[in-house]
Chain A
Amino acid sequence: MDVDALTVRYGGFTALDAVSLTVAGGEVVALLGPSGCGKTTLLRTVAGFIRQASGSVRIDGAGIDDLPANRRRVGIVFQNYALFPHMSVADNVAYGLHARGEKGAHVNARVAELLEMVQLGALAKRRPAQLSGGQQQRVALARALAIEPSILLLDEPFAALDRSLRLDMQIEIKRLQRQLGLTAILVTHDQDEAMSVADRIAVMKRGRIEQLGTPVEVYDHPATPFVAGFIGTTNRLPCLAEAGGVALAAGARLALAHDQAPGSAGWLSVRPEQLMLTSEATPDAWAVTPALAVPLGALTVREVRCADGTLLRLTEPRRGAIRDPAGPIFCRLVPGAQPSLFSANEEE
C-alpha cells in the first residue's frame, strides 16, 4: 500500500498534513501517537470513511481514492469490535460473504474454517453479547478476514481488553498475520503494543509522521525530541556540544558522534538503561546523590540527583535486596551507549 502526500482537513483543522507512507506486502506498520495526532484519521481515510483534501492511496498499485468504502476490500477490526449484536457469531463472520451475494454450503464451510482458525468453532451459534472481550475480538478478526481483504486495518484493537489478555491477543494476531501473510496497519497509542506487533512504527504528531522505523530504531535512535519523549522513558541531560563530544552541565565530558555545532546548547536523551552507577571518579562520570530506589520485578529503578539539580532515572538488574551504595557515587553511560543529542531550541 502506498499513501502519497495525503492531506485531510476538518473545517480549518488539518488532521493529516501531506503524510506519505509505504507499507510492503506482508508487513505490519503501527501508527503510534497521542490522541489527535491523526492516526485514526489516516486509517479512516484508507478505509474510505473520510475523503481526503489531496493526496492519494494506492493498493497493489491501483488508486482507490474514488472507490466507496464498500468496494475497497479493506478489512477493519474496530476498537469496540462493532459486531452486529442481533446476529450469531457465524452470521457475523458470514456477513461480508452474504453482502456480495454468496450463498449456500461453501459460505458455511468458509465460516467454519475461519472460526476454527480463531479457535471459536464451538461458539458459532452464540450472540456477541454472550462472548468475552477476547472472543469478541476473534470474531471481529474472522469477520474482517472473511472477505480476504488486501489490507487489514486494526483500530486500537487491544484497548478494550484486560492487560493480561492483551499480550495473548497481540501474539495471536501476530501469529495469524504471519501465517496468512497479511499486510496490516495497526493504530495505537500504546507503545508496547506497537513494539510487540509491528514490523515498523510510524510515530505521529499533529498530522505528520515524526519518525518511521523499526521498533529498535525508533527506540534506540529517536529522530526528534517528541519521539524520544513518547517512546519509552528518557532522561534529559543539559549539555554543550563540543567537537566530537559534549560537556554535561552535571560536570562530565562524553565522547559522542553528533551533528550539532560546537558551542551550541542542547540536551542528551538518555534511556534509563543507558546509565549506570559507579564508585570510580573518571572524566566521563559525574557525581550524583541517590534519591530513591524501587524494585520493579527483575529491575531496580533508581532516581539520582546530579550536581546541577537534574533528576535522573536509571534502571539496573536487581540481585537480591536493594542496597544504597556507600561512599561517593558517580553516574556514567554504560559502555556502547549512543544517546541522541538534540539542540536546546528544538521544540518537543
Chain B
Amino acid sequence: MARRRSPAEISYALVIGGLAALALVILVGPVLVVLATSFTDSRSIRFPPQGFSFRWYELLLDEVRSRPIHRAAGNTLHVAALAAGLATLGGTGAALALAGLRGRWARLADAFFMSPMVLPGLAFGLAALMYFTLLGFRPSLELLVCGHLIVVVPLVLRTVGASLSQRDPALLDASASLGASGFHTFRRVTLPLIAPGIAAGAFLAFMASVDNVPVSLFLSSARTDMLPIRMWGMMESTLDVRVAAVSGTLILVAFILMLVMERFTGLTRRMRG
C-alpha cells in the first residue's frame, strides 16, 4: 500500500526538484545551444541553427585555413600539460609537507599556496606581466607555464590535502611497527591511498589551465597565442562559426576526460573496498 505523503514532503520534493531542474536548464542549456549551433549550415553564429552540416568542423580541421587555431590549441595543450604536470608534482609535495606540520607557520604556508585562488585572475595576470617584463623576460610559452602553474597549484594542493587528511594516521604507525622505513611506507601505503586525489588534482589543474583566460591574456603574445584568447578574438571580429565548433570539441573532450577520471577514481575506490 502506498504511503500518503504529507504536505511538507510534497513541498520539499517540489522545491528540490524545481531547483534541480533550474540548475540543469542553466548548466546544460548553454552547452546544448553551443553544440547545436556548431552543426549549422549558415555562415554566422545564430540560434536556432539553419540546416545541419559538419562544414565548420571540416573547416576547423583544415590544416591550412585553420592554422592559427591549430597553433593556439597546440600552445594551450603544451602549456596545460606542463603546468598541470609541474603543479601535480609541486602541489603533491607541498600537501605532503604541510600534512606533517602543525602550527602557525604551516597554516601561513598553506594560506600562501592557496592565495592564487582568491586573487583576481586579471590582477595576477597584469602583475605577472609587469614583474616578468621588469625582470627582462619576453612573452614565451615557458612564461605562460609559470603563470598557469601558480594559478593551478592550489587545485592539486586541495585535492591531495583532502585525501591526506582522510588517511588514518594509525596506518603510518602500523607500517612503522611492522618494520617499514619511511620511504617504504610512502610508496606502499601513502601513495596508493592518495593516488585518486593526485589524479583528480592533475585533471582539475589541466582543465583550469586549458580554460584560463586572465593569465593568458597578459602573458601570451602573437607567437604564443592561446586557444581561449584566439576564440575571443574570432568572436569579436567575425562571429566565426568555427568558435562554436571549437567549443563543441572542447565540450566533447572534457566530457570524455571526465568519464575517464570517473572510471579511474571509481576503480581506485573499488580497490579500497
Contacts and interface: CB of A to CB of B under 8 A. Distances in A.
A299 B193 CA distance: 52
Contacts of B188: 84, 95, 98-99
A78 B174 contact: yes
Contacts of A78: 170, 173-174
A49 B172 CA distance: 10
A130 interface: yes
Contacts of B174: 76, 78, 82-84, 143
| Residue of A49, A82, A128 contacting most chain B CB atoms (<10 Å) | A82
Interface in A137-154: 143-144, 146-147
A48 B181 CA distance: 14
Contact of B176 (A69, A128, A129): A69
Contact of B177 (A47, A86, A98, A130): A47
Interface string A108-138: 0000000000000000000111100000000
A90 to B, nearest CB: 14
B102 interface: no
Contact of B170 (A69, A73, A82, A130): A82
Given A82-B170, A99-B184, A74 B177 contact: yes
B266 to A, nearest CB: 14
A96 B179 contact: yes
Contacts of A144: 177-178
Interface string B110-121: 000000000000
Nearest to B271: A86
Contacts of A130: 273
B258 interface: no
A266 B179 CA distance: 53
Contacts of B170: 78-80, 82
A73 B177 CA distance: 7
A68 interface: yes
A47 B170 CA distance: 12
A78 B168 CA distance: 12
A84 B170 CA distance: 10
B233 interface: no
Interface string B154-198: 000000000000001011011111111100100011001100000
A323 interface: no
B273 A85 contact: yes
21 contacts: A49-B173, A69-B173, A70-B175, A70-B176, A70-B178, A71-B179, A75-B177, A76-B177, A78-B170, A95-B180, A95-B188, A96-B179, A99-B175, A99-B180, A99-B181, A127-B271, A128-B273, A143-B178, A146-B178, A147-B178, A147-B179
B272 interface: yes
B81 to A, nearest CB: 28
A4 B34 CA distance: 76
A220 B243 CA distance: 88
Q: How large is the interface on A (under 10, 10 to 19, 20 to 34, 35 or more residues)?
A: 20 to 34
A96 B181 CA distance: 11
B184 to A, nearest CB: 5
A82 B168 contact: yes
A279 B174 CA distance: 61
A96 B178 contact: yes
A106 interface: no
Which residue, of B180, B193, B273, has the highest number of chain A Cβ atoms within 10 A? Answer: B273
Given A70-B180, A78-B170, A99-B181, A127 B175 contact: no
A129 B272 CA distance: 8
The 6 A-B residue pairs with the shortest CB-CB distance in the complex, in nearest-first order:
A129-B273, A96-B178, A99-B180, A82-B170, A127-B273, A82-B174
A44 B55 CA distance: 71
B179 A99 contact: yes
A100 interface: yes
Interface in B40-65: none
B178 A95 contact: yes
A185 to B, nearest CB: 13
Interface in A143-171: 143-144, 146-147
Given A47-B173, A80-B168, 16 more contacts: A48-B176, A48-B177, A69-B177, A70-B175, A70-B180, A80-B170, A84-B174, A85-B193, A85-B273, A86-B192, A86-B271, A95-B188, A99-B180, A127-B273, A129-B272, A144-B177
Contacts of B272: 85-86, 127, 129
A236 to B, nearest CB: 40
B264 to A, nearest CB: 14
A68 B176 contact: yes
A87 to B, nearest CB: 8
Given A95-B188, A99-B184, A129-B272, A82 B173 contact: yes
Contacts of B179: 70-71, 73, 96, 99-100, 147
Contacts of B189: 84
A76 B173 contact: yes
By CB atoms of chain A within 10 A, which of B171, B176, B178, B271 has the most?
A: B178
Contacts of B180: 70, 95-96, 99
- Residue among A86, A100, A127 having the largest count of chain B Cβ atoms under 10 Å: A86
Interface string A40-84: 000000011100000000000000000011111111101110111
